[in-house]
Structures are given as structure tokens and as C-alpha cells.
């Protein structure tokens, strides 16, 4: 997930196994509409690059490059 999610760019990350940290991150996004909109827009555009179809293309391209 860390290769896709970037704190303050397309997500607000919380500390693992820390309910209080998760609650703070959720409250922050819920109280800051411009932040929520910016994160959603960026996550949506970033997510387009990580579809199953694009992943399959990358894997097949690596196989093609590895051919002798």
C-alpha cells in the first residue's frame, strides 16, 4: 500500500494498530472539506494507474523484456 498511498497527497495515513490515530485522521478529513476533495481527486487519478488491466500490462511487458 505504501507504494500507492502518500500521506497528505492522496490519503491521510494513521499509525497501524492505533484506533486513536485512525480516529484523528478520519476526523481531520471529515472536518476539512477542501482537504477531503483534494485527496479524493488525487486518489481517483492515482488509482487509475493501478487497475488490474494496467498491472497485467506491466507484468507482460516485463516478461517480454526478459526474453533472450
Torsion of CA 23, 17, 10, 62, to 10 degrees: -160
pLDDT at res. 55: 87
pLDDT at res. 28: 97
pLDDT at res. 50: 84
**Considering the entire predicted model, what is its pTM?**
0.69
What distance in Å separates the CA atoms of residue 54 and residue 49, rounded to the nearest whole number?
7
pLDDT at res. 20: 98
pLDDT digits (tens, 9 = 90+) for 23-63: 999 999 999 999 999 999 999 998 888 889 988 998 999 99
Amino acid at each position: 500500500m505504501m507504494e500507492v498511498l502518500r500521506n497528505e497527497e492522496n490519503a491521510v495515513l494513521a499509525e497501524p494498530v492505533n484506533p486513536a490515530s485512525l480516529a484523528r485522521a478520519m476526523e481531520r478529513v471529515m472536518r476539512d472539506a477542501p482537504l477531503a476533495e483534494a485527496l479524493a481527486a488525487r486518489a481517483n487519478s492515482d488509482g487509475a494507474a493501478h487497475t488490474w488491466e494496467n498491472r497485467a500490462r506491466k507484468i507482460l511487458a516485463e516478461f517480454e523484456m526478459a526474453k533472450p
